[in-house]
Structure formats: structure tokens, C-alpha cells
Amino acid sequence: MQVPWVIPDYQQQDIKAIKKVLQTKWYTMGPEVKKLEDKVSSYLHIKYAVAVNNGSSALDVAIKCLNFQKSDEVIIPALTYIATANAVTNNQGTPVFVDIDDTLNIDPTLIEENITEKTKAIMNIDFGGNVCDYSSLLHLCKKYNLHLLVDGAQSFGSQYKKKMCCTHGLINTTSFHAAKIITTIEGGMVFTAHKELFHKAQMIRNQGQSKRYIHPFFGNNYRMTDINAAMGRSQMDRVNDIIHHRMELARYYKDHLKNVTYPEEHASTKNSHLFFSILIDKREKLRKHLSKNGIETRIHYPYPINKQPIYYTSTIYPKATEVSQRILSIPIYHSLTQNAQDYVIKKINTFTKGI
């Protein structure tokens, strides 16, 4: 049996929605984009949303909104996708890495010692949908007068104490890449409760333009097409189903997998499970065993960010290092059948029984 790590979810209704846009001949930044923004902001209970062409652009817009100066520092987790760090560096700032905790998110108890007079913001992620400790992050931001910037690329649909993720920061983002929970194929969004930031984000998305050919800000062409937006809007019609189903798949794995451990989860959080990650000592052996049996897996992530050539330092982040050596993300997606999931479970359990 072949079990891919992810299959993007699409239904006939998504294709219909895309076809409809092609017939209207309004292909970019038209009514579908606005409708998607309205639908997502209302789902997240946040006032303003700005759709862009991917999650990395969303991060760039968010950071440009905050007027960082050269050498301003932004505290980020030592284990994340490279886009989190690059968004800071691409805006002449310096990402400062902080080790993660057992939830695989930035460890709030290690942040304070990394704050300097150059620190302007904390940017967190919710690893694979697993929610971080927002109370502590918000407390630190208040105490040191820092912005909270949320890279919510992995946590669409997750919740912290009943408040939707992608909304806790001054400015927040998400990604609608094909492998994400809701997809526009490529796409992303910026969220804020502040009108001024909203207007600025709209301008930055469109070359920093305030009026036609007047450019008070640096920006780029980060516009979303109506074709992508229509796909997202159609997917949003079934968002609750999609997330509920993912959580059921995760529960089923936890009920049936043996001799593996999982990232810890904070109480009063809801994990929408973009990833289903296990932690295991003989990770490479298990990965080979699963691959031989047709099961695709991913490693999120094989190195702490500071072991990437562009960010190399000799510092060791013990938890990020340990997790990068033990983590394995196994298949989870809307159309994963019970049969396929049982097959994955059986293959993992046969392996773990022997170690």
C-alpha cells in the first residue's frame, strides 16, 4: 500500500468555484479575494484580514507593517521552518533564536535572558498546530514593551483557551499552501485587530501604493488571484468538518500507536493537527522501514535553524537538537482512509515492538 504524507484536499465544489471565476474574467484582487478575507476573518473572530500570495509574503507584510530598523532583534524559536527567520533577515533585522520546550514551541522561560535593548518583537509559531503558551508570551511582551508577531502558518483552526490561533498577536499570519489545512494552492493571509495596520498591510501587498502610482511604503506584488481565493472560499465552507476530522485522525493514532511519545500539549488548547508528529529514538531506522512499506513521512525539522548554513552559529539548543533527531511526522490528511491509517499504525507498532 502507498500512503503519502499529505494529499491536498479538494472537492468538486472547489473546481466549480474556480471555473466560475474564469468565466467572470476578473482574475486578481477582485470580489473573490474580498469574500475570502471576510469569511476567514469572521471564522477567526478578528476584524481585519489581508489576503496575499503565500505565507512567506504574509510574514514580510507583517514585519514591514511594524517599521523595524536595521539590526532590530526579533526573538523566534530555534526549531521552525526557515521562512520565520528569513522574514526578519529579509527586512534587515536579526532573528534571535530561543530553545523550545516539550510542546516544541518557543520556551517562554528562556526568553527573558535573550531580551536586549534591540529586541522589538517575539515571533512565535504553534508547532504543527500545537498551541504555545500565549499567556506567558503576552505577559513578556507587556513587561518589556515588545510586539507579539504570530507566524500562524501551521496553526489555522487551533485554539488557545477558546480563542482562535492566528489572532493573539498585534499582527498575525497564516499560510494556505497546498499542504495546509485550508488551501488556496499557494496563498497566505495577514490578520490584525488594528485599522491602521490593516490599511498599511493592504498597501504593502500592492507595492506600498496608497493611491495609483503613489508609494509611501516599501512593498511588493503580493496580491492573491481570485482563482486562488475562490478555491479557499469553497474550502472554508467545510472548515469545521476538515478540522474535526483531522482531530479524530489524531485521536485514533494516539489510541492505537504503541511505544512512541508525542509533543506535550497545554491544557485548554485545541490542536488542529497540521502535523501528526511522534518522537522516537531510532527515527532513521523507522523512517526507512516505513518508506520500504510505501509510507511517506517528513522530518520537521532536521536541524535547528542555527545549523542552517545561512544562520550558522556554534550554539547548541539542547531541546531543538534532541527533537530534530527524534521527530517524525506521519501521514495525516482529510482523505486518509481508516484502512490506510490502520496500515500505518500496524507498520509502526511492528517496528516499535522490536526496539
Ligand X SMILES: Cc1ncc(COP(=O)(O)O)c(C=O)c1O
Q: Among residues 189 and 280, whose Cβ is nearest to ligand X? A: 189
Residue range at the interface with ligand X (CB under 6 A); choices 50-58, 88-96, 210-218, 340-348:
50-58
Q: CA torsion 31→35→36→39, rounded to 10°?
A: 180
Contact between 91 and ligand X (CB under 6 A)?
Answer: no
| Identified binder of ligand X from the candidate list 33, 153, 166, 328, rule CB under 6 A | 153
Rounded least distance, CB 42 to ligand X, Å: 22
Contact between 88 and ligand X (CB under 6 A)?
Answer: no
Contact between 158 and ligand X (CB under 6 A)?
Answer: no
Contact between 150 and ligand X (CB under 6 A)?
Answer: no
Which secondary structure element, helix H or strand E, spans residue 346, and what is its range?
helix 338-353
At residue 315, what is the residue type? T
Rounded least distance, CB 112 to ligand X, Å: 23
Instruction: Provide the pairing of β-strand 327-330 with 276-279.
Output: antiparallel
Residue range at the interface with ligand X (CB under 6 A); choices 30-38, 52-60, 190-198, 322-330:
52-60
Do 233 and 18 form a contact (C-beta atoms < 8 A)? no
Contact between 54 and ligand X (CB under 6 A)?
Answer: yes
Q: Among residues 83 and 280, whose Cβ is nearest to ligand X? A: 83
Contact between 55 and ligand X (CB under 6 A)?
Answer: yes
Do 107 and 319 form a contact (C-beta atoms < 8 A)? yes
Residue range at the interface with ligand X (CB under 6 A); choices 78-86, 132-140, 211-219, 308-316:
78-86
Q: Rounded to whole angstroms, how far apart are CA atoms 61 and 223?
A: 11
Rounded least distance, CB 159 to ligand X, Å: 18
CA atoms within 13 A on the CB side of 296: 9
Contact between 154 and ligand X (CB under 6 A)?
Answer: yes
Residue range at the interface with ligand X (CB under 6 A); choices 80-88, 163-171, 199-207, 333-341:
80-88
Site string for ligand X, 111-140 (x = CB under 6 A): --------------x---------------
Contacts of the segment 300-303: beta carbons below 8 A, 24+ positions apart:
300/81, 300/127, 300/128, 300/275, 300/327, 300/329, 301/79, 301/80, 301/81, 301/327
Query: Residue count at the site for ligand X (CB under 6 A)?
Result: 15
DSSP code, position 303: S
Alpha helices (runs of H) in 107-151, residue ranges in sequence order: 134-144
Q: Rounded to whole angstroms, how far apart are CA atoms 265 and 84?
A: 22
Identify the three-state secondary structure at position 51.
Answer: strand
Q: Which of residues 175-234 bind ligand X (CB under 6 A)?
A: 175, 177, 188
Which parts of this chain interact with ligand X (CB under 6 A)?
54-56, 59, 80-81, 83-84, 125, 151, 153-154, 175, 177, 188
